Amino acid sequence: SKLVSGLSKTRNNIVAGIDSIFSGFSSIDEEFYEELEEILIMADLGIHTTTKVIEDLRKKVKESKVKEPNECKQLLIDSLKEQMELQENAYEFENHKSVVLLIGVNGVGKTTSVGKLAGQLKEKGKKVMVAAADTFRAAAIEQLTEWANRAKVDIIAQQEGSDPAAVIFDAVTAAKARNTDILLCDTAGRLHNKKNLMEELRKINRVIDREFPEAFKEILVVLDGTTGQNAMVQAKQFSEVADITGIVLTKLDGTAKGGIAIAIQAELGIPVKYIGIGEQIDDLQKFNAYDFVNALFS
């Protein structure tokens, strides 16, 4: 499947290592656990999640009285899935009049993700509008216009440098007037200027809450999967400035460290709602822990 091929780099990284220890060790001893730990950390599962997985695996091995390393592979898969099952990922916004904000630093894939989502939701029969509130980057407005034209959805934009909150005001007003189902908003993210960013997000949220209080609001942080643990740091920083409802983890096709998806969901307790596994419109997929782990081990 697309998911399996999109995750091939991570799969090769994790599975090759894991297969070699499952076949290379004759018993489940300390050295076995240590090597497994190293492989999981290398795949960017993070120390915290790796430690939890290993602890859980030790328990499962004991309970099931498994002796052979080969037999505990399924136990490991189960444990990885359980780490991500903290919450049922919900996509309630699709069933309401909603405003979806995509936030994140430059280059992580916000504009692209807005475009892909717009196309997919339109395909499902939703009336979609996009707002080009990343007014900081001229190319972002052009890029989003292209996506909107391709997907045949409405776009609200002003010129470069205009006030993002003003664009959002226009967009929310238009969305209400045109009876739009889902308004997707691209935003600019300058984390190095946390105070400005916070102020900008606060203004945007205030406009939405004031002008469209009945809208279902979704705030998604977009993170670049190839940046590994740095993505984790960004997720933490953004969760300090906004009430994040989910994560979009992009570019997993370009990294061997896709374990970050497991780490983020397990450590931050914020659901990974979408993953990006390529540049085409259907390369943004709803994230499902079971399918993800299965794709890694298929």
State the residues that interact with ligand GDP by CB under 6 A: 104, 106-112, 140, 143, 222, 250-251, 253-254, 276-279, 283
Min separation Cβ 84 and ligand GDP, Å: 19
Q: Of the two residues 36 and 295, which places its CB atom closer to ligand GDP in the complex? A: 295
Is the Cβ of residue 53 or residue 116 nearer to ligand GDP in the bound state?
A: 116
Do the annotations mark residue 6 as ligand-binding? no
Question: Is 167 annotated as ligand-binding?
Answer: no
Q: Would the annotation count 188 as a binding residue?
A: yes
Looking at beta carbons, which residue is closest to ligand GDP? 276
The number of C-alpha atoms within 13 Å of 132 and in the hemisphere containing its C-beta is 24
Nearer to ligand GDP, 9 or 73 (CB): 9
- Residue 157 known to bind ligand: no
- From the CB of 235, what's the least distance to ligand GDP, in Å? 14
Q: Find out whether 251 is annotated in a ligand binding site.
A: yes
| Phi, psi of 21, rounded to the nearest 5 degrees | -80, -30
* Cβ proximity to ligand GDP, 189 vs 271, nearer residue: 189
Q: Report in angstroms how near the CB of residue 15 gets to ligand GDP at its nearest.
A: 21
What is the signed CA dihedral for 285, 291, 297, 298, rounded to 10 degrees? -90
CA angle (9, 11, 13) in 5-degree steps: 70
Task: State the nearest-atom distance from the C-beta of 282 to ligand GDP, in Å.
Answer: 11
Query: Which residues are within 8 A (CB) of 187 and not within 5 positions of it... i.e. 6 or more apart?
Result: 101, 102, 103, 110, 133, 134, 164, 200, 201, 204
Q: Which is nearer to ligand GDP, 7 or 40 (CB)?
A: 7
> Is 293 annotated as a binding-site member?
no
Least Cβ distance, residue 173 to ligand GDP (angstroms): 24
Q: Nearer to ligand GDP by C-beta: 108 or 129?
A: 108
110 is in an annotated binding site: yes
State the distance between the two ends of the chain, measured CA to CA, in whole angstroms. 10
Residue 252 is assigned to a ligand binding site: yes
Report DSSP letters for 178-242, one per residue.
Answer: TT-SEEEEEE---TTSHHHHHHHHHHHHHHHHHH-TTSEEEEEEEEEGGGTHHHHHHHHHHHHHS
CA 230/CA 82 separation, integer angstroms = 24
Q: Rounded to 5 degrees, what angle do the CA atoms 20, 255, 45 make?
A: 60
Q: In what order do the strands lie in the sheet with 272-276?
A: 154-156, 128-133, 182-187, 98-103, 216-224, 246-250, 272-276, 284-286
109 labelled as ligand-binding? yes
Q: Least Å distance between CB 254 and ligand GDP?
A: 5
**Do 266 and 84 form a contact (C-beta atoms < 8 A)?**
yes
**Measured from the CB atom, is 128 or 221 closer to ligand GDP?**
221
Here the tokens at position 120 are 């997919």
Q: Least distance from C-beta 30 to ligand GDP, angstroms? A: 39
- Residue 259 dihedral angles phi and psi, to the nearest 5°: -60, -15
Q: Binding site: what residues are annotated?
A: 104-111, 186-190, 250-253
Q: Binding site for GTP: what residues are annotated? A: 104-111, 186-190, 250-253
